[in-house]
Chains A and B, each alone.
Chain A
Amino acid sequence: MSQVIDDDPRIIEFDVRTDEMLVNMGPQHPSTHGVLRLVLRTDGEVVSEIEPHIGYLHRCAEKIGENISARQFIPYTDRMDYLAAMNMNLGWSLAVEKLMRHQVTEKARHLRVLISELSRIASHLVGMGAYGLDLGTFSPFLYAFREREKILDLFEEACGARLTYSYITVGGLTADLPPGWLARCEDFLNQFEPVIREYHTLLTTNAIFVKRTASIGVLSPELAINYGCSGPVLRGSGVDQDMRRDGESIYTAMYDGYAFEVAVMKDGHYPRDHVYPAVPHDAVLGDCWHRFFVRMLEVVQSMDLVRQAIDRYSACKGPLGEPVKVAEKIPVGDVYLETECPKGQMGFYLVGNGTAIPWRVRARSSSFSNLSVLAELCHGCLIADVPAIVGSLDIVMGEIDR
């Protein structure tokens, strides 16, 4: 038909004919958070289709796990979500402990809470700062990194590393805290608390920020569940689920006695919404703004948990307990355990066959599932919305590609 029109000189087209364009965003692009490659089919500025391509950071972690002992696998978990390596360590340790039916000491339990919640703050700070960067403002990124550096300093003091800690390990932790650490941690919390308000004025309530994020990339709760989304992405859609409260007993036991409220909107209200900025009127539950805001609330929630953990940890007398031996045999059987990591629910599946080396290791990554929903979210958005949506999912490629 179009051929006929092209050839017929009597028919004049008054409209400008446009073509669709395929644009390659990434793997070297400033705002694809690492080596994510997105192929966009665009009509002008409007994206009609988006296809994520992953695998550029695939390092065969699962295959490696089949060749080394469970404790030796800990450093490889560091490199999955390298922005929250402590939580990755914890997830794997708990999964192995679940299979070994190993119980850590009370002191180790509280220290694990303390460390993993601090790590959550650090991860959310990067998520927040990088999100600002995605929307074109550079300063919040550095404000966030300024505070994150202080957390990293604390971690460095505790375990000697700043990024890949391997601190939490199977059967406990590699070392106890150095003297004076708790006081410095409390200093940090006290100093950090007022800073959060700055972040809210700079981003959360900023008119341009709201314009760029409200009603953008709306993810319905049904779709979020169907796509296996988890963490702030799921809670941003209003699904009340947090593995720290709803997960398996071995994980929830860690948080026994801790008081915290899941950061999710219930009946139109977020927990403590009298303290924090009101939801802008053009924000829709499940959009980028809500995903971002849930992360901001979780920072405060984690601060609370850290404070509680400090109290409990310092009340614990006695030794921290030794981690299991490197060549400890793993019983026959298989376990699966999901923990609530900053990015979402990180699952580890482990099959033991009676030797020290696992028969099969499987890492179910939260960012993997969270990213798979991207094609749904970006349908019909503008090019400028693509970084906004990708950023609001807060993905880490190390975890997706493993």
Chain B
Amino acid sequence: MAEYLIQTVGLPEWLTWSLMAVLSAVLILNLMAGGALVFIWAERKVSARIQDRLGPTRTGGSFGWLQSLADGIKLLAKEDLMPEGADGMLFRVAPYVSFCASFAAFIGLPFAFDMVGLRLNVGVFYVVAVLGLEVFGVILAGYASASKWSLFGAMREAAQVVSYEVPLGMCIVVPVMLAGTMDLVTIGEKQAGWFTNWYLFHDPFTFVVFWVYVTCAVASVNRAPFDLAEAESELVAGFHTEYSGLRWSFFFMAEYSSMFLVSGLAAVLFLGGWNGPVPLATLAGLSEGTGETTGALVRLLGLANLLGKATLGVLIMMWIRWTLPRLRIDQVMTTCLKYCTPIAAAMFAGAMVWLWVFPGGVLNLDDGSRRPGEIREGWLEGPGGRAPAAATAPASIPAEEAVAEVAG
């Protein structure tokens, strides 16, 4: 599109790229806001169904589908309160820090093949690092609120999230090692084909690692049973006790988009990303490279796949939240340090050995005539393909090199 604008319309290059950046930002922002609205509505409906209730039924006609919007308007109209002893600047900045971290992480997340805000050769690293910044908003909020409960919430959050980054990172390293790259688009692309190509089913170690990842992801986005930072029965509302109105809703949006983000990341890293369980497009002989219209259709299918998987992840998080009691802070730390971290480390070592013994996996049902993702890889490298250096690495990168790359 950028080329079209430059070459056909004749816009100056700087303007074109700025326009494209704004467009991407607006798209992602809308996805976040719209997604949060949908997920908040879904949370209400899901929790209601789990609890034998109906949930919202009237706002916006049936199913109360406009409930979140109505809530949003109510929050906008609410008085914006700040405690007297609060540190004004930090108190105001904190929700935006959380929100921005969550927003920025979306830039690196691919929604379909090459449909990504900015394709980075260190995509995994970028997403995890930026998502980790969200904790600063929470700590700032807790510190600046001048409330003891908020402070407790913030300290818990600091301890918990920082600890869980360790096993989370180890879990994420496993698919990175298998793919031999940190580029999320390539990682997703390597899992093309039947669902047996997904890294979840690559070997027993990745299967275990996936569940460790789920645990750590739930913990790192502060969802029950790890919602210690807001623990409403202990800390009133934890770090956002003193927040109201729109500022509070920014925390809320950040929470829901982080949930979506970690689910999307799980989908890309373990569940084949935009590749469905059955490679419908490939069976029909289509791919992103086969033409303008069909290519777009295939991408839309991929988008639907990824959104579906991520939504499923979010729904599962909701299911967990409305079923389980909350752990205590020492138990949360025990889970992280005594269980998640050693298991993740052991599985990482196991996957490494597996990769050396069975390069390519054993469950691969393809006949071997074509390696997964080969067609598209070729398309990427071909003329007109806008491929960063990392993506041009051949799909069949030798396992030893992959390990060396990660280790190095």
- Among B74-82, B232-240, B281-289, B344-352, which stretch is in contact with chain A? B232-240
**Is the beta-carbon distance between A208 and B322 smaller than 8 angstroms?**
no
**Is there contact, CB below 8 Å, between A384 and B325?**
no
For window 164-207 of A, CB contacts with B under 8 Å fall at 202-203, 206
Asked if A136 contacts B152 (CB within 8 A), the reply is: no
In the complex, the answer to whether B233 meets A382 with C-beta atoms within 8 Å is no
Partner of A23, one of B47, B148, B156: B148
Complex contact A211–B327 (CB within 8 A): yes
Q: A45-B329, A212-B327, A384-B328 are in contact. Are A135 and B233 (CB under 8 A)?
A: yes
Q: Chain B contacts of A400 at CB under 8 A?
A: none
User: How many B residues, CB 8 Å from partner?
Assistant: 30
When distances are taken between beta carbons in the complex, the residues of chain B under 8 Å from A132 are: 325
Which stretch, B48-56, B201-209, B394-402, touches the partner chain A? B48-56
A21 touches B323 (CB 8 A): no
With both beta carbons as reference points, the residue of chain B lying nearest to A138 in the complex is identified as B322
Asked whether, in the complex, the Cβ of B236 is within 8 Å of the Cβ of A136, the reply is: no
Q: Complex: how many Å from CA A137 to CA B236?
A: 15
Q: Is the CB of B234 within 8 A of A386?
A: yes
Q: Which residues from chain B contact A338 at a C-beta distance below 8 Å?
A: none
CA A387 to CA B53, docked complex, whole Å: 26
**How far does the alpha carbon of A138 sit from the alpha carbon of B227 in the complex, in Å?**
13
B324 at the interface (CB under 8 A from A): yes
Q: Are B234 and A208 in contact (CB under 8 A)?
A: no
In the assembled complex, the Cα of A208 lies from the Cα of B224 at a distance in Å of 12
A384 close to B234 (CB less than 8 A) = yes
Contact code string A226-254 (vs B, CB < 8 Å = 1, else 0): 00000000000000000000000000000
CB neighbours (8 Å) of B326 from chain A are: 135-137, 208, 212, 384
A142 touches B52 (CB 8 A): yes
User: Are A136 and B329 in contact, with the CB atoms below 8 A?
Assistant: no
**B51 x A384 contact (CB < 8 A):** no
A136 with B322, Cβ < 8 A, contacts A23-B148, A29-B236, A146-B52 known: no
Given contacts A212-B325, A384-B234, A387-B233, contact A21 B148 (CB under 8 A): yes
B292 within 8 Å of A (CB atoms): no
Q: Is B331 in contact with chain A by the CB < 8 A criterion?
A: yes
What separation, in Å, do the CA atoms of A385 and B155 have in the docked complex?
17
Tell whether, in the assembled complex, residue A30 and residue B52 are in contact, meaning their CB atoms are under 8 Å apart.
no
Q: Is the CB of A31 within 8 A of B233?
A: yes
A139 is an interface residue with CB less than 8 A from chain B: yes
Give the A interface residue count (CB, 8 A): 31
The answer to whether the Cβ of A56 comes within 8 Å of any Cβ in the partner chain is: no
CB-contacts of B273-331 with A (<8 A): 322-331
Residue numbers in A under 8 Å from B148 (CB-CB): 21, 23
Are B329's CB and A384's CB within 8 A? yes
**A133 close to B (CB within 8 Å):** yes
Choose one: A45, A142, A208, A382; the contact of B53 (CB below 8 Å). A142
From 214 to 233 in chain B, residues with beta carbon under 8 angstroms from any chain A beta carbon are 224-225, 227-228, 231-233
B225 touches A208 (CB 8 A): yes
By beta carbon, the residue of chain A nearest B334 is A211
| A31-B233, A136-B225, A143-B51 known; A212-B328 Cβ under 8 A | yes
If A136-B224, A139-B50, A142-B52 touch, does A30 touch B236 (CB 8 Å cutoff)?
Answer: yes
Tell yes or no: A349 within 8 A of B by CB: no
Q: Complex Cα distance A261/B218, Å?
A: 44
A399 interface hit (Cβ, 8 Å):
no
| Pair A30/B324 contact, Cβ less than 8 Å | no
Per-residue CB contact flags for chain B residues 42-70 toward chain A (1 = under 8 Å, else 0) read 00000100111100000000000000000
* Distance of A143 Cα from B156 Cα, bound (Å): 30
- Residues of A with C-beta under 8 A to B51: 138-139, 142-143
Tell me if B329 and A208 are in contact (CB < 8 A): no
B228 / chain A contacts, CB cutoff of 8 Å: 384
Distance in angstroms from A155 CB to nearest chain B CB is 21
* Chain A residues within 8 Å of B329, by CB: 45, 382, 384
Closest residue on chain B to residue A136 by CB atoms: B326
Give the chain B neighbours of A143 by CB distance below 8 A. 51-52
Q: Which residues of chain A come closer than 8 Å to B235, judged between CB atoms?
A: 383
Which residues of B have CB within 8 Å of A386? 234
- On whether A382 and B47 interact (CB within 8 A), knowing A45-B152, A137-B324, the answer reads no
In the complex, the answer to whether B327 meets A208 with C-beta atoms within 8 Å is yes
Is A137 a contact partner of B52 (Cβ separation < 8 A)?
no
> Residue of A at shortest CB range from B326?
A136
Across the interface, which residues of B come within 8 angstroms of A298, CB to CB? none
Which residue of B47, B149, B233, B331 is within 8 Å of A211 (Cβ)? B331
Chain A residues positioned under 8 Å from B52 (CB to CB): 142-143, 146
Nearest CB to that of A28 among chain B residues? B236
Docked complex Cα distance between A84 and B33 (Å)? 46
CB atoms of A385 and B233 under 8 A apart: no
Q: Hey, what's the 0/1 contact readout for A137-174 against B, CB within 8 Å counting as 1? A: 11100110010000000000000000000000000000
Check B323 against A384 for contact (C-beta < 8 Å): no
Q: Is the CB of B330 within 8 A of A139?
A: no
With both chains docked as a complex, state the minimum distance between the C-beta of B155 and any C-beta of chain A, in angstroms. Answer: 8
Point out the residues of chain B lying under 8 angstroms from A139, CB to CB.
Answer: 47, 50-51, 322-323
Q: Is the CB of A383 within 8 A of B324?
A: no
Interfacial chain A residues near B232, Cβ < 8 Å:
30, 136
Nearest opposing residue in chain A for B149, CB measure: A23
Chain B: CB-nearest residue to A386: B234
Bound CA–CA A383/B331 (angstroms): 13
B contact residues around A384 at 8 Å (CB): 228, 231, 234, 326, 328-329
Residues of B within 8 A of A31 (CB): 233-234
For this complex, 23 residue pairs linking A to B, each with C-beta atoms less than 8 Å apart, are A29-B236, A31-B233, A31-B234, A44-B155, A132-B325, A135-B326, A136-B224, A136-B234, A137-B322, A137-B324, A139-B50, A139-B323, A142-B53, A143-B51, A206-B324, A208-B327, A212-B325, A212-B326, A212-B328, A384-B234, A385-B328, A386-B234, A387-B234
Q: Which residues of B contact A (CB under 8 A)?
A: 47, 50-53, 148-149, 152, 155-156, 224-225, 227-228, 231-236, 322-331
Known: A134-B233, A383-B235. 14 other contacts (CB 8 A): A21-B148, A30-B236, A31-B233, A31-B234, A45-B329, A135-B326, A136-B225, A136-B325, A206-B325, A208-B326, A209-B325, A212-B325, A385-B328, A386-B234
**Shortest beta-carbon contacts, A-B, top 5:** A136-B326, A135-B325, A31-B233, A137-B325, A142-B51
